[in-house]
Structure 1
Amino acid sequence: MTHSFFFLGIPGGWEWIVIILVVVLLFGGRKIPELMKGLGQGMKEFRKARNEEPTKDDIDEKK
């Protein structure tokens, strides 16, 4: 049974542990909350922009 990186699919239990360990080692424990806060703000802004309907002024500005 051969495993390829591209065919693994969703990570299981051990894979998540390894991913979390690598993230902690790379960024350190103090930076992780800051990274998650930035990620959350980015997702919030993306949802807000996606849900906003363009106004006539926005459409005219693009022309």
Structure 2
Amino acid sequence: MLDDWHVMVVVLIFALIFGAKKLPEIGSGIGKGIKNFKESLKDEEKTPNSEDTKIIEDKTHSKD
């Protein structure tokens, strides 16, 4: 979908706007944000939320 030259144009625009010295900081911040987002998704899958627990409890009590 994105060719190499698309990526290069975007990087060039960011370099012109923010300066070449800020690009590594911006990239690092974006990377950390994506990592935290993925970790929170994994944690959410591992621990059921209260609504899921309530539905499971209601189903087990209705079978009695």
TM-score (norm 2): 0.60
Please tell me the root mean square deviation across aligned C-alpha atoms, in Å: 1.9
- Amino-acid identity (%): 29
- For residues 4-39 of structure 1, the C-alpha deviation after alignment (integer angstroms, 9 at most, x for no partner) is xxxxxx222332222121110011111111111111
- In the comparison of the two structures, how many residue pairs are matched? 49
TM-score (norm 1): 0.61
Bigger CA radius of gyration: 2
Mind listing any 5+ residue stretches in structure 2 that lack a counterpart?
52-64
Residues 1:54 and 2:47 aligned together:
yes
C-alpha separation in 2, matches of 1:47 and 1:37: 15
